[in-house]
Structure 1
Amino acid sequence: MVKVYGEAPIRLLIVEDNRDISENIAEYLEKYNYVLDFAYDGISAMHLALTNPYDVIVLDIMLPGMDGLSFSKKLRTDAKVETPVLMLTARDTLNDKLKGFEAGADDYLVKPFALQELHARLQALYKRISGKTSNILSVGDLTMNKSTLQVHRAGQRIDLNPACMKLLQRLMEEAPSVVTRDDLETLLWADEPPDGDALRSHLYKLRQAIDRPFESSLIHTVHRIGYRIAEDT
């Protein structure tokens, strides 16, 4: 990962099997406010796209493992991910461009291209979606796709029951703020919470799934108030 520090960096996934092209893009974009991840085949790119909250994906069409058109279709249709996709390809016919847009691409750039134009198109895509709410929630290395209800931590898929899924989503939406016990009980049981420690039992199960297998804990108890999720204690 290449990090370029600044205010509100744009998270970018570059999917390109030609490492020279990837390195040229990275070298140019280092001057600007981006956080860059790289994938060199369609399968590893899909894993990254489903487990990280990217702002834009730069996608080559000719890829090993899964081509760019199949990747884009799967991202949109199966995973319900709405991250803008900028396709890169040497194919410049109208039919090729239409296939890209039909597969879910938001923009299309023909190789060879000027890096200044790539940067301008990325900025335009980011501005177009920056006011929209992302489907991906992220706290540290923990992510949740609100459309597919897929949860990953450190790249590992985590399966949760419906109650734990509701609790985790609320905690992540409010992170790093505290969510009160009353709010969490209302979330699960409306105005009729059960007697006893039912909420504590669900939080225990959630912690077993989210925290126990990993080195650091994300879910924290705030004594007599509620719970919060954050990287810090």
Structure 2
Amino acid sequence: MRILIIEDDPAIAANLYDYLEAAGYAPEHTADGVTGLHRAVSAQWSAILLDVSLPGMDGYTVCRKLREEARRDTPVLMLTAKDTLDDKLAGFGHGADDYLVKPFSLKEVGARLAALIKRHQGQVVPGALRCGDITLDPRTLEVERAGRPVRLPRKCLHLLQLLMGAPGQVLRRAELETAVWGEPLPDSDTLRSHMHTLRRALSADGEATPIETVHGIGYRIGSMSGGASSAGDAP
């Protein structure tokens, strides 16, 4: 998932960048409002971290233009030293989805960011996930393929839920490891082993594997129209 950081303080930007990258996101940084707005509207982002006091164009204006002129609904988390109620109301009034006052905890940034992305993707009150002939009910944790029950270990079930929540998207190895184990793992053997177990269970009746390895990056669940294009077990 791609995250745009619009922040003019080099130290804060570097900390955010390193934290998000370690968590499996794909961050990009700009240091002024004009460039930030250009990048915000010229590419697709899972969320934007937006400072208010920026050179060239302040964050309020960036957010307003993003909403009113570019008509983008990308989740925006404002990060700013402005801490009065009026400041916060101004942020929400210009289109921000959430507001966090500096200094902040990187873990809180991560938690708020994940919540915004889930809400934007409609995952707050989850319904059944479907990809081709595979169905996963997040409430009962039941998985079926073409009507056949599929029994999975807990961590494999979590991996499948992550993949099915972002069909066609490549989820990076570190992103999956952080979501399932709480942190990136020192090597890929654990994730590789769980992916092998997951693939074997989903293809127990000889079906094509639905999970594609994007070598050197991570995994994604395929379109299911003709199976995944790669059946390897390791990125």
TM-score by length of structure 1 reads 0.52
Distance 2:12 2:116 in 1: 21
Deviation of the 1:130 alpha carbon: 1.7
Distance 1:56 1:106 in 2: 10
Q: Secondary structure at the match of 2:19?
A: helix
Distance 2:20 2:39 in 1: 20
Amino acid at match of 2:118: K
2:33 paired with 1:42: yes
Aligned residue among 3, 17, 37 for 1:12: 3
Q: Secondary structure at the match of 2:96?
A: coil
2:118 paired with 1:121: no
Structure-1 residue corresponding to 2:23:
32
Cα offsets for 1:12-33 (capped at 9, x unmatched): 0000001110101112222212
Distance 1:28 1:47 in 2: 24
Distance 2:41 2:19 in 1: 26
Structure-1 residue corresponding to 2:68:
77
Deviation of the 1:42 alpha carbon: 0.6
Q: Is the Cα–Cα contact under 8 Å of residues 17 and 29 in structure 2 kept in the other structure? A: no
Amino acid at match of 1:40: A
Q: Secondary structure at the match of 1:30?
A: helix
Distance 1:28 1:48 in 2: 21
Deviation of the 1:44 alpha carbon: 0.5
TM-score by length of structure 2 reads 0.51
Distance 1:29 1:49 in 2: 18
Distance 1:97 1:70 in 2: 14
Deviation of the 1:58 alpha carbon: 0.2
Cα offsets for 1:7-54 (capped at 9, x unmatched): xxx210000001110101112222212011111001111111111100
Aligned residue among 81, 104, 112 for 2:95: 104
Structure-1 residue corresponding to 2:84:
93
Distance 1:29 1:82 in 2: 21
Q: Secondary structure at the match of 2:119?
A: helix
Amino acid at match of 2:36: A
Structure-1 residue corresponding to 2:45:
54
Question: Residues 61-210 of structure 1: matches in 2 within 5 Å?
Answer: 61-131=52-122
> Which of structure 1's runs of 4+ aligned residues deviate more than 2 A?
none
Q: Secondary structure at the match of 1:83?
A: coil
Cα offsets for 1:36-81 (capped at 9, x unmatched): 1111001111111111100100000000010000111111011101
Cα offsets for 1:185-207 (capped at 9, x unmatched): xxxxxxxxxxxxxxxxxxxxxxx
Amino acid at match of 2:89: L
Percent identity between the aligned chains? Answer: 52
Distance 2:76 2:20 in 1: 17
Structure-2 residue corresponding to 1:218:
none
Q: Secondary structure at the match of 2:99?
A: strand
